[in-house]
Every structure is written in C-alpha cells, then in structure tokens.
Amino acid sequence: MSWERVFISQDYGRPIYKHKELPVYITDEFDFFRCVEFKDEFYGKTASTLFNGNLRECTGRYSKLFPNQKLSYWADSPSTARAEIKKHGAGNSILTFWAYDDGTSTFPTLPDQTPLIIIDGRKCGVQELIDKVDNEVSLSEIEQKYMTDLLVQEPDCLVFDSHAKRGGENFIFFEKGFRKLALRQLRLRFGKSDGGNCNRIVCADTSDYIPFVENYGKYFEPKVRIKMDKTYLLSKEYFQRRQICEESHRKMWEAMK
C-alpha cells in the first residue's frame, strides 16, 4: 500500500494498493471530465439521460483493442477534455460532464461503492497499442491476445497519456467502472459566436460530494435555461439513488449517536 498520488485527477492522501507484478491499482477519490460538442438534440434531455449516454458500444477505432465492450472516455481535467474534442474539430459550444467515483461521497447513491480498479496503460505497453490504433496501424494477433489477457484483471478503467494536451491523462472506462461514477456537474457553455452564455446543473456539491439526486432530472432549454422533468422523480434510477442515499444518511446518524 502507498499514500503517494499516482494519477493527476486523484485527491491527495488516499490509500493506493498495487498488484505485485502488474500496473494495476485499487484506489478512490477522483474527479473525471468529459467534453462533447453541444447539439440542438440535447435540449430537453435530462442530465441523467445525457450522462448515461456517455457509455456506448465500442465500434470505432478501439474495437480491436476492446472487442464486445461498452466504453466511456474521460480526462483528468476540463482543459484536457476540451483539447481532446478540439483535436477532432469540435466548435465552441461545449457540454462538460464532471463526474466522480460515487463511493467517495459521504452519502453515496449507487449500489457498487467499491474503489476503482485501474490499469496504468503507460506502464504495460497499452499506451503504445492505443497510439498504434490512433494512427490506423493494425494490431498483431499477439498484441490482441495480450489485451485479452490483461483484461482478465477486470479493471474499471484504463489510463493513458493525452496527445492533445501535454501532461494530460485520459481514462477509458469499461461498463463495470462507469457504473461506479456519479455526476457532479453538467455545464453548458456557448462560444462568443453563440452569445457566450453558460449555465450548469449541479448534482453533487462540496468537498464531501453531497448529492442532489433530484437534479438528475433537470435539463437545458434554449438560451441556456434550466427546467425540471418531473417524470424523472418516478423513474427506477431516481428511487434507487434516493433509497441508497437515505440509507447512508441513516448509517451516519446511527454512528454519531
């Protein structure tokens, strides 16, 4: 076990457990960021719908690395996340997701509150394979088998260096790991050509990540206004998050007696 921070987006002073041979870590208390170019079709979609839409079937350039997987792409900071989409030609109207590992919260809202299992791809050759795929270089059967064997460790996510921002870190989350993430903020900012307006939906706040579960049902309207979709308060997701959050409140009060 170590207390020395390994990843940029992790808070200081967290216990970090490392596999004896492989660059596999078990730890917690992270902030993750993802930017996407805003589209008009996002209007009226709840924060919950937009957040869950970040997990998708792997059908693009990484499909040979991670066959039959659902993936979600995140970064260590808003600047790294913006640089990544700018590299692919995104405009100035940007939706930024700010997420955290839910088990970190004083009052978690998800059933899986175990720490994250992270593979550091920079220390085991995965970085080079990702770079090959990005440059449209085919992987050998041996390289594909290596990835298959590595994923036997059942990681939540994999970290590698960003080439869009020097010193930045990118994270590829697998479905198991994505299900451990909760949304802290959803921020919409338009560029100057669109009026320079911005607004945000806050689903958790303070250093303890205190959740506001009902805010997952909020959505953006034109002119960056925010409204509430009350049907979210009838959803299975809302009831699950609220129930787990209330249970964590109950346990804390009992511990304080």
User: Mind giving me the DSSP string for 78-99?
Assistant: HHHHHHHHHHTT--S-EEEEEE
- The confidence score (pLDDT) of residue 5 equals 84
* pLDDT band at 88; cut points 50, 70, 90: confident
Q: Which comes out higher in pLDDT, residue 2 or 102?
A: 102
Q: Which two tokens stand for residue 140?
A: 């050998």
pLDDT per position as a tens digit, 133-168 = 888 888 898 998 888 888 888 999 999 999 999 999
Lowest mean pLDDT among 25-34, 53-62, 169-178: 53-62
3-state secondary structure of 190: coil
Mean pLDDT lowest for which of 19-28, 113-122, 178-187?
19-28
Instruction: Report angle CA 52, 35, 129 to the nearest 5 degrees.
Output: 90
CA-nearest of 40, 44, 38 to 221 is 44
The more confidently predicted of residues 33 and 132 is: 33
* C-alpha to C-alpha distance for 154 and 244, rounded to whole angstroms: 25
> pLDDT tens digits for 41-56?
999 999 999 999 999 9
Q: Is residue 238 very low, low, confident or very high in pLDDT (cuts 50, 70, 90)?
A: very high
DSSP secondary structure code for residue 72 in this structure: E
The string of pLDDT tens digits covering residues 192-211 is 544 568 999 999 999 889 99
**What confidence score (pLDDT) does residue 133 get?**
86
d(CA 165, CA 167): 6
Tell me the CA end-to-end span of the chain in Å, nearest whole number: 32
Average pLDDT along the chain: 92
Q: What pLDDT shows up at residue 196?
A: 61
> Which residue matches tokens 């990835």?
147
- What proportion of the chain, given as a percentage, has pLDDT over 70? 98
d(CA 100, CA 106): 12
Q: Which residue has the tokens 């996002």?
A: 42
Contact 119, 23 (CB under 8 A): yes
pLDDT at 192: 59
DSSP, res 140: P
**Residues of the chain with pLDDT > 90: what percent?**
67
